[in-house]
């Protein structure tokens, strides 16, 4: 399954690694994201370091692993879907993720409940993916 990875579940994994880490390495789950994903992670790096039990170096290694596991799709490839995404996305800061999901015709992995307040793009929370892929 191809899925657009939002920043919030990945930041949560960086802060508190656990069962969800397994999602990053499933062959049956192809993670894709706009470059905005890594910008959001970088912007929250101090928060991640402060809240996690990991060192700055360990966080950097973890981010490097994320960059290996997640394919970044250049925004120019899905720019044509931005207007549609603006119309349907419940949270305007997530428009780029929605545009990519519309372009690829795939779901989004996000823990933001409000993103389910639309009927065009399926949104999976981390616990739903863990259940779907039997990682319990």
DSSP 91: S
| Under 8 Å between Cβ of 102 and 119 | no
pLDDT (tens digit, 9 = 90+) per residue, 16-72?
Answer: 988 899 999 999 999 999 999 999 999 999 999 999 988 999 999 999 999 999 999
Domains of the chain: total: 1
CATH of the domain at 80: 3.40.50.1010
pTM tops 0.85, yes or no = yes
Give the C-alpha separation, 48 to 44, whole Å: 6
Both tokens assigned to 24 = 């990053």
Domain span at residue 123?
2-132
Ramachandran angles phi, psi of 13, nearest 5° = -65, -40
Share of the chain above pLDDT 70, in %: 99
pLDDT, position 129? 96
């Amino acid at each position: 399954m191809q899925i657009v990875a939002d920043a919030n579940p990945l930041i949560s994994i960086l802060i508190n690694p656990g069962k969800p880490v397994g999602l990053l390495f499933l062959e049956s789950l192809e993670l894709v994201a706009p470059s905005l994903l890594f910008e959001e992670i970088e912007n929250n790096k101090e928060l991640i370091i402060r809240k996690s039990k990991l060192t700055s170096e360990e966080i950097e290694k973890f981010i490097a692993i994320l960059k290996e596991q997640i394919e970044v799709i250049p925004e120019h490839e899905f720019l044509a879907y931005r207007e549609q995404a603006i119309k349907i996305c419940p949270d305007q800061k997530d428009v780029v993720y929605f545009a990519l999901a519309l372009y690829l015709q795939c779901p989004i992995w996000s823990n933001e409940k409000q993103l389910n307040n639309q009927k065009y793009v399926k949104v999976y929370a981390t616990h739903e993916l863990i259940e779907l892929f039997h990682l319990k």
